[in-house]
Amino acid sequence: MSAPFGHRLADAVAARGPLCVGIDPHAPLLERWGLGDDVDGLRRFTDTVVDALAGEVAVLKPQSAFFERHGSRGLAVLEDAVARARAAGALVLLDAKRGDIGSTMDAYADVLRPEHPMAVDALTVSPYLGPGSLQPAVDTARLAGGGLFVLARTSNPDAGTLQSAAVGDRSVAQVVVDTVRGWNTPGWVVGDPLPDLGAVQDLAGRWGATTGSFGVVVGATLRDLDVDLGGLGGPVLAPGLGAQGGTPADLRRLFGPGRAVVPTVSRDVLAAGPDPAALRTAAARWAQELAR
């Protein structure tokens, strides 16, 4: 890869806008498209979405589980889709929410390596085995020029059960954000004191400048933003727009006008299929809404 993920994401957003479209071929959606819940239906669905949108949007986000459920042939569909999407200019964020320790985490992160058969641009990861558990993925991302989005403050109904729990004077979610902020600070490693906010240049929102390659996942449907994203230095992945109730106004309310936010829409775009032109129209409508 010629540049770190943060640079490539900034370039893609500058060229195409910030919209990220999920590729979520779950059984009811396949049926709605008139396709079977089998590998053939999976392939036809995925090919249609990639062909329609990979040349239009900044980021495509396939949900790994919907391909894994079809076994090795499903993973072959995913592998082919990733390669074709990237060849068409879209960045690919693999939504797999991996989280483990040691060599296992290292193995999960291999998809960030350019020589991997299913090389992707970025990966979603879970920090709930401790911030240090993700260090192998951080190391791989730095070496390979890949990116990570770490679950921090999600908007599923019972997320606060863990994410709002106190760790000293901070919430678990805030510890995650602060850890990611450290990753975007040169020379910082887990175990060091957290970098002083005043010493960190906050590049988030400055899409025309260098942006850190490590971001957090914060739901667009939160009632209030209860984590401090100051000095994050990387992007925020904001799922929940459309069918889950989130709106562009919620993005502005939660994150303000100057933060690097990658809004994610899945069902509201995919429901427009299987007609490719309708998929492009739905994505363009969301892009226009987000640009206001």
**Residue bearing the bigger pLDDT, 187 or 135:** 135
Please give the pLDDT value at position 69: 98
Mean pLDDT of 214-237: 95
Inform me whether the pLDDT recorded for 242 exceeds 60.
yes
More confident residue, 195 or 225: 225
Options 16, 97, 252, 267, the catalytic residue: 97
Measured between alpha carbons, how far is 101 from 286 in angstroms, rounded to an integer? 38
The number of distinct structural domains making up the chain is 1
The domain that contains 135 carries what CATH number?
3.20.20.70
Q: Is the pLDDT of residue 204 over 60?
A: no
Give me the residues paired with residue 167 across strands. Answer: 170
Our answer to whether residue 61 is catalytic in this structure is no
Output the pTM of the full model. Answer: 0.93
Q: What is the DSSP letter of 193?
A: P
Q: How high is the pLDDT of residue 191?
A: 56
Q: Is pLDDT above 90 for 168?
A: yes
* Residue range 27-61, pLDDT digits in tens: 999 999 999 999 999 999 999 999 999 999 999 99
Whether the link from the prior residue into 274 is cis, omega within 30° of 0, is yes
Question: Domain residues for 130?
Answer: 5-291
What value does the mean pLDDT take over residues 264-278?
97
Most confident option among 162-166, 210-214, 239-243, 272-276 = 272-276
In the predicted model, is pLDDT for residue 289 greater than 70?
yes
DSSP letters, 65-130, are: HHHHTTHHHHHHHHHHHHHHHHHTT-EEEEEEEE---HHHHHHHGGGGSTTSTT--SEEEE--TT-
